[in-house]
Structure 1
Amino acid sequence: MGALTAHLPDAHFAEGGRIMARSAMDMQMWQGIALLALGLGLAGRTNRVFLLGGCGVLVGTVMFCGGVYNTAFTGHHGNHIAPVGGSFLIISWLLLAVGWMRRA
């Protein structure tokens, strides 16, 4: 997505879409790095709270970034995918925090 947002001609984006797509790409990258770190840090020591939180981060990232990409390319703001995905991310990170507190 980084290469796509950097090199795709402006005609393929809605007005202001390139900036939105870059923001979604940044969010996707940081959430992906966080998921990798979680997977490596919790290998073999997971519980249901961690699994639920990690799955929620994955689903939330796909929904949030997908909704923002859709808006960036089509210009249609009518979907509720991005806000629901953002809510998934918030709740999932809170679940992961609870999981860490329960471990300590």
Structure 2
Amino acid sequence: MALSVSAGGRCAYIQPIMPSTFSFPRLWRISGALLAASGTIVGALTAHLPDARFAEGGRAIAHNAMEVQMWHALALLALGVSLSQRPTRLIAAAGCGLLLGTLLFCGGVYYTALTGHHAAHVAPTGGSLLIISWCTLAVAWALRA
């Protein structure tokens, strides 16, 4: 919350940090659509780029990451469409975790597929975040009445 203090020392107004147009369901719908679009591009690239563009075994690795990306894009789209009201904190955390985990996991795997180098702990961190997010989502739905 941002506070504005008047000359008399009283709080004039409290303004939320996030704009009123922000919503997690909207973020997840937009992110899911963009992940699906970029996943389609990656699918085309893995099908049509010459082998020399990939590290050894990189084409199959990139294709597997693309499948993970597409499944999580669909999950984010479904989560965004199914929630018309404000999500609980657990659902918000799970949705954000799915988004960040997908970016980290797939980004790390794509980097490895193209360069042959491992991006430290990026992909394992993203994968762990995906697992935790799915479990968090299960708990959140179990707690919902």
Under TM normalisation by the shorter chain, which class is it? over 0.9
- Residue pair 2:43, 2:63 contacting (<8 A) in 1 also: yes
> Pick from 76, 91, 96: which aligns with 2:137?
96
Larger relative contact order (C-alpha < 8 A, sep ≥ 6)? Answer: 1
Matching residue's letter, 2:102: T
Q: Normalized against structure 2, the TM-score is what? A: 0.69
Task: Determine if the alignment matches structure 1 residue 81 to structure 2 residue 122.
Answer: yes
Distance 2:124 2:58 in 1: 17
**Structure 1 runs (4+) greater than 6 angstroms displaced:** none
User: What is the CA-CA distance between 1:45 and the residue it aligns to?
Assistant: 4.5
Q: Which runs of 5+ in 2 are unaligned?
A: 1-41
Q: Which residue of 2 is the match for residue 57 of structure 1?
A: 98
Distance 1:75 1:56 in 2: 27
Q: How does 1:1-80 map to 2 (within 5 A)?
A: 1-80=42-121
Distance 2:55 2:67 in 1: 19
- Higher helix fraction (1 or 2): 1
1:53-87 deviation line (CA, Å, top 9, x unaligned) = 00000000000000000000000125210000001
How much is the aligned-residue C-alpha RMSD, in angstroms?
1.0
- Higher strand fraction (1 or 2): 2
1:6-54 deviation line (CA, Å, top 9, x unaligned) = 1111101000000000000000000000110011112215111101100
Matching residue's letter, 2:81: L
Q: Normalized against structure 1, the TM-score is what? A: 0.96
User: What is the CA-CA distance between 1:4 and the residue it aligns to?
Assistant: 1.0
Distance 1:26 1:9 in 2: 20
Distance 2:70 2:84 in 1: 21
Q: Say which one has the larger Rg.
A: 2
Matching residue's letter, 2:120: N
Q: Which runs of 5+ in 1 are unaligned?
A: none
